[in-house]
Amino acid sequence: MTAIDAVRSQLVEHEQEHLLTFWDELDETKRAELLADIESVDFSGFQAAWAQAHKSDESVDPTGFAAPACLDVMEGRRVRAAGEQIIREGRVAAMTVAGGQATRLGVDIPKGAYPIGPVSGASLFQIFAEGVGATNKRYECRVPWYVMTSRANHGETVSFFEKHDFFGLRRGDVLFFSQSMIPVASVDGKILLEDKHRIAMSPNGHGGSLTALAETGILGDMKARGVEFLSYFQVDNPLVRPVDPEFVGAHVTKGSQMSSLTVGKASDDEKVGVFVDIGGELRIVEYSDFPVEMTGRKNESGGRMFDLANIAVHMLDVAFVESVTGGDGRVSLPWHRAGKKVHAVDLSTGQAGTADAPNAVKLEMFVFDALSLADKTMLLKTDRAERFSPVKNAQGVDSVATAKRDIVRRSARWMGACGVSVPTKAGGEPDCVLEISPGYADDEPALMERETGTDRKIASGETLLLRC
């Protein structure tokens, strides 16, 4: 049997022999690339993940859903000092998952490089870096920042940081690691080709971060630095506080292994995952799996019963991550399916293109499924206007425009709290474009310290950037 015959029979065994459709047309270099792609795929693992994703997505049973217990903002304030002490002792690291493909935003740069500052044009990465820098300054510590990328954006992400000299952070304190990729398939499970000689692959979901932390040696780096707690957030939320003393304090004082920050939902049909209690345990159910008829259900006081939205901000114990990933980095998180538009080759015509409607299924692990692996969890509520405005779409809801608007609104609110008179339009919206960079002030009290005695005036229509 020739080498290609052996590959073909392996593919036949997994019903993926169509991957060789264009073999006869390929030159030697392209054949070698295709063979390398095929070799890199764990076909049995893919088959198992595919079968399991279909099972787990069908198995959401809403009958046992109840509203979960949740700590409020005041509780967070009470434990702030404890959190500050832990940060000061260098026991907390920041971690950003930035391996996604940002297909909805539709830009050809890593999402973190997107300029979101309404006045400064600062990128999401810069805003987070300034937040980490502000924490370092305030608590006289060096918070390591771990950034997860994927094959699709690793090089560009690292170059972006290099080009900007790591935004003033020490190079050695910003560490990048890449998550694994998994093949993308059509709805019937046939793996797609993105080119006649390349298999279509996508990152394995933000849940892949846990495996990647173990596999890439990052867990070892954390332990060597004395990091015990991870402050996890996504690349798309410019209002996030990279290391939040109140959240750290609540996580540690409650003895939680994995905790989540939450806000009230914006509307019944907001496209966010929702926290539920199932049999006394905290879980998140994705909006696509949440029964529509339950989204508007009321509690006894007339409020929304399932109101707590997942904003993808979590605290994780490093020891917990280590225990769930075991020695080999594998973690038993369920696989989920996501319908996506991907660039693929039509096997009958050989033409490659991107579909107008979802033409493919990506398999993903979700980090929040790790809540089910924790013995102790905790949920803390915070204020949406202060902490959450994701950049998901190019336009409309959760877009560049709404995130910029929310940065201006928050800046105006902080200014108002400092006694500065902020001009407003008829509907109450600030009549100015105002941005406070986290390096200048990363919360309201920090701004008060800066602004006391400045006698600042803001004119209607003014554009103002406060930065160091």
CB of 420 to ligand UTP, least distance (A): 33
Residue 234 interacts with ligand UTP (CB under 6 A): yes or no? yes
Residue 103 interacts with ligand UTP (CB under 6 A): yes or no? yes
| Identity of the residue, 392 or 404, whose beta carbon is nearer to ligand UTP in the bound complex | 392
CB of 160 to ligand UTP, least distance (A): 14
Interface with ligand UTP (CB under 6 A), residue total 22
Residue 413 interacts with ligand UTP (CB under 6 A): yes or no? no
Cα distances (angstroms) measured from residue 277 to each of 70, 289, 359, 380? 10, 15, 34, 14
CB of 205 to ligand UTP, least distance (A): 5
Give the range of 103-111, 154-162, 217-225, 438-446 binding ligand UTP by CB under 6 A. Answer: 103-111
| Identity of the residue, 83 or 208, whose beta carbon is nearer to ligand UTP in the bound complex | 208
User: Which residues ranging from 258 to 277 are in contact with ligand UTP (CB under 6 A)?
Assistant: none
Cα distances (angstroms) measured from residue 145 to each of 50, 133, 142, 204, 259? 33, 10, 9, 21, 19
Residue 369 interacts with ligand UTP (CB under 6 A): yes or no? no
- Compose the 61-100 pattern: x for residues touching ligand UTP by CB under 6 A, - for all others: ------------------------------------xxxx
In contact, 121 and 70? CB cutoff 8 Å = no
Task: Report the residue from 235, 374, 407, 447 that binds ligand UTP according to the rule CB under 6 A.
Answer: 235
CB of 150 to ligand UTP, least distance (A): 6
Give the range of 121-129, 204-212, 319-327, 420-428 binding ligand UTP by CB under 6 A. Answer: 204-212
Structure token pair of residue 328: 């080999």
CB of 431 to ligand UTP, least distance (A): 32
| Identity of the residue, 197 or 387, whose beta carbon is nearer to ligand UTP in the bound complex | 387
Q: Report the b/e string of 114-150 with b at 16+ CB within 10 A.
A: bebbbbbebbbbbbbbbbbbbbbebbebbbbbbbbbb
Q: What is the dihedral of CA 428, 263, 383, 119, to 10 degrees?
A: -60
| Identity of the residue, 235 or 308, whose beta carbon is nearer to ligand UTP in the bound complex | 235
The residue with its CB nearest to ligand UTP is: 100
Which residues neighbour 406 within 8 Å (Cβ) at sequence distance 6 or greater?
Answer: 239, 385, 389
| Identity of the residue, 235 or 284, whose beta carbon is nearer to ligand UTP in the bound complex | 235
Residue 236 interacts with ligand UTP (CB under 6 A): yes or no? yes
CB of 127 to ligand UTP, least distance (A): 14
| Identity of the residue, 135 or 234, whose beta carbon is nearer to ligand UTP in the bound complex | 234
Structure token pair of residue 338: 């996501």
CB of 153 to ligand UTP, least distance (A): 9
Structure token pair of residue 252: 């540690």
> Cα separation of 227 and 209, whole Å?
17
**Which residues would be at the binding site for ligand UTP (CB under 6 A)?**
97-104, 111, 148, 150, 179, 203-206, 208, 234-236, 364, 392
